[in-house]
Amino acid sequence: MIIPLPKIYYFAGMKNKTWFLISFLLFIFSSCGSNDETPQETVSENDIDAARNFIQSSLNGEYNKARNYMLKDSANLQYFDAYERNFTRLTGEERRDYREATINIHDVKAVADSVSIIIFSNSYKKDRDTLKVVKMDDQWVVDFKYLFEHNADTLQTNVSLNPDSLQ
């Protein structure tokens, strides 16, 4: 029995097309796994390292990476979402200036074995800010809400002109 020639070509063409399709799909699926915004390692060695990692990621506009250095509670996430919205509204030049800024740690106060208060600024804005860093489950993380709420939770009547200082 003789098989007609067009069917052989059709079958051979389908085999090549199937191989091409499988190769193409494998290529697509393998490239989907690489994402530059996925943080590689987000474990900090100590309180200062956690604060520095969080601040640098924030200045660079790497929001997902910064969130990995942050205590995840509803207030922190809301404050950080607002920060992210404001940061994305900046001009390209302002964002570049933040990315190129260096971090200045002015003071560190260990409140307890697992809590530190860190006063910092960046070389672009030079405004001093305060972060609270806590150790939870053997990992240092930033309690971001402290940046906004630390002056409101005091009962002191003698308020300093420089609220971001350790006395």
CATH number for the domain harbouring residue 123: 3.10.450.50
**12 falls within a domain:** no
pLDDT in tens, 58-109: 999 999 999 999 999 999 999 999 999 999 899 999 999 999 999 999 999 9
The confidence score (pLDDT) of residue 45 equals 86
**38 falls within a domain:** no
16 pLDDT higher than 80: no
**24 falls within a domain:** no
**73 falls within a domain:** yes
Number of domains in the chain: 1
The confidence score (pLDDT) of residue 150 equals 72
The confidence score (pLDDT) of residue 117 equals 93
**80 falls within a domain:** yes
Task: Choose between 129 and 12: higher pLDDT.
Answer: 129
Which residue range forms the structural domain that includes residue 109?
A: 47-146
Measure CA 127 to chain center.
Answer: 21
